[in-house]
Amino acid sequence: MKILAVDDDPFIRELLPVVFREADYPHLTLADSGAAALELLATTKEQFDCLLLDIEMPEMDGITLCRHIRALDAYQDTPILMVTSRSDATAIERAFAAGANDYVTKPFDVKDIATRVHIAERMLENTQRAPRLDPHQLPPGGEPGTHEFELTDPVHIGRVEQLVLPFSLGNYLSQLSRQHIDMCQVFATKIEHIDELFATCNTREFARAIAASAEAVARVVDCPQLLMTHNGSGTLLCIVTGDSLPAWPEIEILVQAELDAMDLRHDDNSPMSVMLSVGGPIQPNASRTQRVRKTFDRAIRRVTMRQKVKLDSSPSQKPSVSAAH
């Protein structure tokens, strides 16, 4: 595995080769600044498999560098690990929103590095299989219901702030301290009648519906501590820290109002109805080893129950997704 580590601290740059050799990752390249790192990425013929970026650097910090790297076509899916000595979650959340996939806190040891890089290797395999869509770059048209992915695939929608890969959100949640867990809420949203939307929309329209749903949630929650992922089947898993989450179920009304205000359209300019259910928030499971699976499963069950309640109370309420197709 070919790794690039970027850190302005000369002591850390001396330490990292020793740590990575002991962790059995000898192929390490070092850069002392964001500018030097970008030059290496532009001139090195063999692509790096993993990037390690220090958050706190002068001139160009690691979060800004991360955004620049994600803008490079060759590095859209490369695992990026942030290195930070900060204990506040805000910087880490900003790094994830910029495209980071995981983080290591200083001081670190061989076991820390080995564990996170092993996870990065698994993540690289997973992200290579995950479809990546950008509604702004996909061509118009296309056959309705014909997609190069399944409905259940965790399609990643590009250029949506605070929307990250499922693997990345799991990494973030698994490493939260007990202090931050107590301030954290997890909830899920789901597009209603997503199977009909999938069958009657082309790929660009389907991606637009998911992107709009995420943007509506972000506008209502309106806090930098929000992170989301599309988990497949039109489901968004959302994590927010602090007390910025609006009351439930009012949040569902507010999110739907944002979606309606977007006036979503099919490629032929006919109205596209997207309705969203929002499950009640929960606190993450305390156990680090079971936290991600149990927390996300509970959040998904809550939004599924919410959809069932709405369907039972209004069985005739269905979006006319196929009216124009």
Per-residue pLDDT of 19-54, as tens digits, reads 999 989 999 999 999 999 999 999 998 999 999 999
Residue 287, pLDDT score: 84
Q: What is the pLDDT of residues 95-136, one digit of tens each?
A: 998 999 999 988 877 888 888 998 888 877 766 566 788 888
144 and 284 in a single domain? The answer is yes
9 and 144 in a single domain? The answer is no
30 and 93 in a single domain? The answer is yes
115 and 246 in a single domain? The answer is no
184 and 96 in a single domain? The answer is no
> Which tokens sit at 170?
């799991």
Q: What is the mean pLDDT of residues 12-24?
A: 92
282 and 202 in a single domain? The answer is yes
State the total domains in the chain.
2
For residue 320, tell me if it sits in a domain.
no
Within the chain, residue ranges assigned H as helices are 10-22, 34-43, 62-70, 89-97, 110-129, 166-174, 178-182, 194-200, 203-221, 250-262, 291-313
Q: What is the mean pLDDT of residues 169-182?
A: 86
For residue 125, tell me if it sits in a domain.
yes
For residue 281, tell me if it sits in a domain.
yes
The CATH number of the domain holding residue 86 is 3.40.50.2300
121 and 143 in a single domain? The answer is no
For residue 258, tell me if it sits in a domain.
yes
For residue 291, tell me if it sits in a domain.
yes
Residue 323, pLDDT score: 41
For residue 325, tell me if it sits in a domain.
no
Q: What is the pLDDT of residues 274-300, one digit of tens each?
A: 999 999 999 998 888 889 999 999 999
For residue 109, tell me if it sits in a domain.
yes
* Domain range for 95: 3-129
Contact between 37 and 31 (Cβ < 8 Å): yes
Distance, in Å, from the CA atom of 198 to the CA atom of 233, rounded to the nearest integer, reads 9
Q: What is the pLDDT of residues 202-216, one digit of tens each?
A: 999 999 999 999 999
142 and 124 in a single domain? The answer is no
